[in-house]
Amino acid sequence: MDIQDVRVKEEPLFFGKARSLMGIITDPPKAPRDENFPAVIFLNAGIVHRVGPHRMFVKMARSLANLGFVALRFDHSGIGDSKARNDRLSFEQSSVSETREAMDCLSTIRGRKRFVLVGLCSGTPTSFRTACLDPRVVGLILLNGVLESPDKINQEVISYVLNHKIARSYWQGKLFHPPSWLKVISGKANYKQIVNVLTSRLRDLFVPDAKVALGANHIVGDLRSLVAGGVKLLFVYSEGTAVLEYFRMALDKEIRKLRASEKVKVQIIQRTDHTFTLLRHQEELLGLVCDWALDVVLD
C-alpha cells in the first residue's frame, strides 16, 4: 500500500486520569460504518516511543486508518512524551491499566466499543494480559510475542530455548552450507557448540518438551479462554529468533488445536530479524497485518 495516497487525519491526544499519557490518534478518511468496527491500539515495543521500531507503527496506523479503522499510538508512562508515574505500580500493572485507559478514551471520543491491540516483543505480554481482563478486546496482533514478561520465564527455560535456537540454525542453515563444512574440515569450527547441538537434538528425540510446556500452563489456559470468548489472534514471528523457539516449545501444540477454530493465525517471516529491520520485511508484515485486520472485521 502506498502511504502517499493515505488521506487519514491525525491529531495529538492527552488522556488518562492525570492526562499524562500522550498519543496520536489516526482517523480514517470517512467515519467508520458502525460502532462495532474495532479501533486499533498500538503499545510500546520496549522503550521505543509510539512510532514503533523503524517507524512501523506509523505506517501500520495510517494503512489501517485508510481501511476504515481508528488507530491510536500512545506512549506508556515514562516512555516517549508521556510523564513518568509517581505511584508504586509495576510496569506489568500500569501498562495494562494504561491500555484500558486508552480504550476508555477511544470509547468516549470516538464511540468505539471493540478493540484490537498490537504489540511487538515486550508490548505483547501487555496486550495479552489486557485481553484476558477486558472483554472489549476482540483481537490481538502479536509480533514476536512472548505472552508473559521475560523476567518471569525461568533461567532453565531460557537456556533451553537458546540452545534450540542455535541448534535450529545449525540444522537449517549450516548443514547444507558448504563453507560451514569447510570450517569443520579445516579445524576452524566451534566443536563444543556442534556437540551441544547434536546432544540437544538427540535429547529432543527421547525427551519431549513437557518440562518447558509445563511452565507455560497458565498461558495456555488463558489462551484457550480468550479463543473460547471469541478473541482472534494473529501471531507473526521472525524465523530464527529465540522468541519463536519459546513459542514453539510452550504453545505450538496448543496453537495447532486452536487453529482449527480459525480464530488463531500464525505467520512466520523468513530470514528476518527481531524487529523486521529490512524494508521488504516491513512491507511483508504490513500486508499481513492489514489483511488479517480486514478478516477480523469482515468475519
Does position 275 interact with other proteins (CB under 8 A)? The reply is yes
Q: What's the min distance (Å) between Cβ of 46 and other proteins?
A: 4
Count of other CB atoms within 10 angstroms of residue 171: 12
Write out the E strands in the chain: 9-15, 21-27, 39-42, 71-74, 115-120, 137-143, 232-238, 264-269
Among 24, 103, 285, 286, binds other proteins (CB under 8 A): 24
C-beta separation of 269 from 237 below 8 A: yes
Residue entry with cell 518471569: 152
Does position 71 interact with other proteins (CB under 8 A)? The reply is no
Q: What's the min distance (Å) between Cβ of 143 and other proteins?
A: 14
The DSSP call for residue 1 is -
The residues in 77-116 that bind other proteins, with binding defined as CB under 8 A, are: 79-81
Does position 124 interact with other proteins (CB under 8 A)? The reply is no
* Cα–Cα distances in angstroms (integers) from residue 150 to residues 91, 154, 233, in the given order: 13, 8, 20
Does position 241 interact with other proteins (CB under 8 A)? The reply is yes
Among 47, 133, 158, 228, binds other proteins (CB under 8 A): 47
Does position 38 interact with other proteins (CB under 8 A)? The reply is no
Nearer to other proteins by C-beta: 178 or 299? 178
Count of other CB atoms within 10 angstroms of residue 186: 8
The angle subtended at Cα 189 by Cα 186 and Cα 195, nearest 5°, is: 125
Q: What are the backbone angles phi and psi of residue 105, rounded to the nearest 5°?
A: -60, -45
Stretch that binds other proteins, among 49-57, 64-72, 135-143, 290-298 (CB under 8 A): 49-57
- Which residues make up the interface to other proteins (CB under 8 A)? 3-4, 10, 12, 24, 46-51, 53-56, 58, 79-81, 238-241, 270-279, 281-282
